[in-house]
Amino acid sequence: IFEKVSYAFRHPLDISNPQVMWIPEKWSTMNIRIAFELLSADGHTIFNSLFLSALTTVIQVVATAVAGYSFDRLKFKGSGVLFYIVIASLAVPPEALQISRQLYFANNPFFFVNLMQNSIAIYVMSLFGMGLRSAIFIFLFRQTFRNLPIELEESAEIDGAGVIRTFWSVMLPNARGCITTVSLRLISSAVFVPPFGILDSSRASSSISSCFSFACDETASSFDATWSESYIIVSSKSLTGSNGAEA
């Protein structure tokens, strides 16, 4: 939370500065003004963001919980290899898959539904375990279910419950801590979900472009002032050095 607050009050020049970690070097409300302009450009922006975050969180929590329970309790041939492949996917940055993912969505409709410029793409990826940081969430659920006693499932099986009923009524309620952790992490990270080309090309691009121009104008003016000050200092030092050498 402190990191998010720190980013909100940073100057755009400090966001990409690796030396600025927690406390901004230059305080600015430019990010808040840009966010306010984006939210004011369209009255449905806040509702769409909340709806997208909530629905994506629910879908991804259910999908990763089912995957984690399957890897831990439902042993099948090759389950261990598949789990290690899932963990290995953490080493692949999302940017490395962005172009290939967009090409796949553009050329392969999902049940005759075009996924480009469509928010269904995010729901589909979350449902099939390819959402935001799904691998680490699958690992968390697997470890949570592994720590639960096997006697709970045996008792449910004696009472006549099947695999689905045991998971939904016995195992999932005992994983409330993991569900809360995953949900909070998904909601806080929903703003960083890659767009996958689903932005509306007319209104969204125009509002983002205007706010980006506004940010660039202020950043450029700040950069010009800093560059001018640096030029004056360097020039004065060079002139002082040349005069000293002549003397």
DSSP state letters, 167-229? IIIIITGGGHHHHHHHHHHHHHHGGG---TT-S-TTHHHHHHHHHHHHHHHHHHHHHHHHHHH
**Tens-place pLDDT, residues 35-58:** 777 766 666 777 777 888 888 889
The residue among 163, 102, 97, 99 whose CA lies nearest residue 135 is 97
| 3-class SS of residue 10 | strand
CA 116 to chain centre: 19
In this prediction, the residues of the chain whose per-residue pLDDT falls under 70 are 1, 39-43, 190-247
pLDDT at 190: 65
Q: Can you give the pLDDT at residue 191?
A: 55
Q: Model's pTM, two decimal places?
A: 0.65
Given a contact cutoff of 8 angstroms between Cβ atoms, the answer to whether 9 and 27 are in contact is yes
Encode pLDDT of 118-154 as tens digits: 778 888 888 888 877 888 999 999 999 999 988 888 8
Contacts of 59 (CB under 8 A, 6+ apart): 123, 126, 127, 131
DSSP state of 91: G
Question: What pLDDT is stored for residue 52 in this prediction?
Answer: 83
